[in-house]
Amino acid sequence: MRRALRWLMAVCVVAATSTAAFAADLRPLVQALGSGGYSGTEKALAQLSEAGDPAAVPAIEALQAGDLYVRKADGTVVVARKAGDAFTLTDPLTRAALGEAPAGAVEKIRINNSLRRAISASLGALTLMSPDAGVRRSAADAVFKSRDASALETLSAAIAKEQDKGVRAAMEQARAAILLTGEAASKMTDADIQSATDTLTARGDRDALVLLNMVAGSGASDVTKKLAAAAVSTLEQKLAFWAALQNLWYGLSLGSVLLLAAIGLAVTFGVMGVINMAHGEMVMIGAYTTFLVQEFFRAHAPGLFDLSILVALPAAFLVSGGVGIVIERSVIRWLYGRPLETLLATWGLSLALQQAVRSIFGPTNREVGAPSWMSGAFELGGLTITYGRLWIVVFAFAVFAALLVALKRTWFGLSIRAVTQNRPMANAMGIRTARVDALTFGLGSGIAGLAGVALSQIDNVSPNLGQGYILDSFMVVVFGGVGNLWGTLVGALTLGTMNKFLEPYAGAVLGKILVLIFIILFIQRRPRGLFALKGRAVEA
């Protein structure tokens, strides 16, 4: 869809730029459209087609739409569109505004059925012969959709002349569509039918499938039907394969979002055992930090806007981490060993933080822009992958890897693990446990802030941003197994993929409900999650 729009835009741009240069040569021909009745119009039309200049396309299109008029005063041909009682006039070639005219001052150039056919043929010819590959491509696509048999001749001529591989393929597909559905089908040889169905199978999208299905149902001959049916089954398999891959990609994408949101929680909840219900708000603070950084860039260095996200990452880490440390020092440290109380206190904090952000920034969504290297999409086989999502997947895995290294390979990580495993012993070995607690909580919150930067790209930046993720994050951590980073990774990806694979069958909401029920049941089977820490304690 988006591609089609882009081609359409290209058509307009090309038409507009070439207008000025060729307007002079075409002017008399366009002028001739308005004289001599039907036959005069038809003759002028044929000459316009022969001239082969796409600049005439807007004028012919206006003729087709019944918007082409003759101004009675001087006999000029104009494009007129009704605006209230009067008409707004524009020049058919240059598109310059020519003022307004009352209804009586212009006369419509009328067209009949034979003219209508001539118009579509000449439009097809003009656009199929256009020097611009984009225009030819969109013309070919249009013919594919309309399957207008009258375009067949022009199409064949265009295919013979075509140099661009992609455009020629589109044209051949259009021709195959016309051949298979039109009257010509009964006269085709088996080999021709075979090659036509092959062309359509190669196209490999839903449009081709719909078309082949139609042919398989009501083809001209039994051979056509049989070949089309075979092509349908090949194509269906191919489409199912790509659809599964697309689902997998969506699942990976959702899974990485879940991973980002949950990974900070895996530190505070998984490693420290603190139920931080304000975790979502740390994400939200990270998103708002991104917003502030972008505002700063917009105001002071708009040229460097693409770098704003890179600056926002450390900023969000520090801001959220700082808030986390303040929370740990002021509230949570008094509540160690009382997880349920911690849950309530941090829930209270989350309410206060939400309201604070609402009071400062207002309740409405804030606009966070995407840098140019994160917008757009590319195609990979039958997959459409947006750069934004791709970067989030990459980022999620990068954060995961960095955290893993930090916990396993650094002195700080060693201290965290020591304090988690045996607090008094770690204390006796000279580790300042209170400081490690504060820094660990800060680390978890800071990672939540990083998640906020990423989520600001795909979600609304509002005070409620965090609330949408908190429950999912807990599900991921609990499902994966508390105290195990790998469990969080597997949990996030599993839940994300499961969600996306259920969606086509059950719908988004029911899919989500099913996933929740699955988690509830799963916890019954394995009360300590997928990768439970093994121990001999009766109650961990």
Q: How far is CA 495 from the centre of its chain?
A: 21
Of 167 and 438, CB closest to other proteins = 438
80 DSSP β-pair partners: 89
As to burial, measured by CB atoms within 10 angstroms (0-12 exposed, 13-18 middle, 19+ buried), residue 67 is buried
- Largest pairwise CA distance in the chain: 105
DSSP state of 310: H
Residue 316 CA to residue 260 CA, distance in Å, equals 14
Single residue of 245, 326, 331, 377 touching other proteins by CB under 8 A: 331
Residue 417 near other proteins by CB under 8 A: no
Supply the minimum distance, in Å, between the C-beta of residue 500 and other proteins.
16
Of 281 and 459, CB closest to other proteins = 281
Residue 130 CA to residue 56 CA, distance in Å, equals 11
In the block, tokens 């917008």 appear at 375
Supply the minimum distance, in Å, between the C-beta of residue 339 and other proteins.
5
Interaction residues for other proteins, span 460-499 (CB under 8 A) = 467, 471, 474-475, 478
Residue 425 near other proteins by CB under 8 A: no
Of 217 and 507, CB closest to other proteins = 507
Which DSSP helix (H) or strand (E) runs through 506?
Answer: helix 485-506
Q: Are 448 and 257 in contact (CB under 8 A)?
A: no
Q: Are 313 and 388 in contact (CB under 8 A)?
A: no
Residue 455 near other proteins by CB under 8 A: no
Supply the minimum distance, in Å, between the C-beta of residue 441 and other proteins.
16
Single residue of 46, 115, 223, 343 touching other proteins by CB under 8 A: 343
Residue 1 near other proteins by CB under 8 A: no
Residue 525 near other proteins by CB under 8 A: yes
Residue 516 CA to residue 471 CA, distance in Å, equals 10
Single residue of 17, 112, 218, 355 touching other proteins by CB under 8 A: 355
Supply the minimum distance, in Å, between the C-beta of residue 258 and other proteins.
14
Single residue of 191, 524, 535, 536 touching other proteins by CB under 8 A: 524
Per-residue x/- mask for other proteins, residues 238 to 277, rule CB under 8 A? -----------------------------------x-x-x
Residue 506 near other proteins by CB under 8 A: no
Residue 398 near other proteins by CB under 8 A: no
Backbone angles phi and psi of 77, in degrees to 5: -85, 130
366 DSSP β-pair partners: 461
Single residue of 32, 98, 374, 523 touching other proteins by CB under 8 A: 523
**Which residue stretch of 127-135, 156-164, 355-363, 399-407 sits at the interface with other proteins (rule: CB under 8 A)?**
355-363
**Which residue stretch of 2-10, 19-27, 31-39, 516-524 sits at the interface with other proteins (rule: CB under 8 A)?**
516-524
Q: Give, in order, the Cα–Cα distances in Å from 11 to each of 128, 271, 317.
A: 12, 58, 46
Q: Are 147 and 212 in contact (CB under 8 A)?
A: no
Of 178 and 267, CB closest to other proteins = 267
Annotate 84-108 with b (16+ C-beta within 10 A) or e (fewer). Answer: eebbbbbbbbeeeebeebeeeebee
Supply the minimum distance, in Å, between the C-beta of residue 484 and other proteins.
15
Residue 22 near other proteins by CB under 8 A: no
CA-CA-CA-CA torsion for 395, 401, 405, 407, nearest 10 degrees?
90
Among candidates 537, 528, 445, which has minimal Cα distance to 480? 528
Supply the minimum distance, in Å, between the C-beta of residue 333 and other proteins.
11
Of 37 and 363, CB closest to other proteins = 363
In the block, tokens 């504060």 appear at 438
Which DSSP helix (H) or strand (E) runs through 88?
Answer: strand 86-90
Supply the minimum distance, in Å, between the C-beta of residue 510 and other proteins.
7
Residue 363 near other proteins by CB under 8 A: no
Q: Are 178 and 148 in contact (CB under 8 A)?
A: yes
Q: How many Cβ atoms from other residues are within 10 Å of residue 305's Cβ? A: 14
Give residues in contact with other proteins (CB under 8 A): 273, 275, 277, 331, 334-335, 337-345, 347-356, 359, 467, 471, 474-475, 478, 509-510, 512-513, 516-517, 519-521, 523-525, 527-528, 538-540
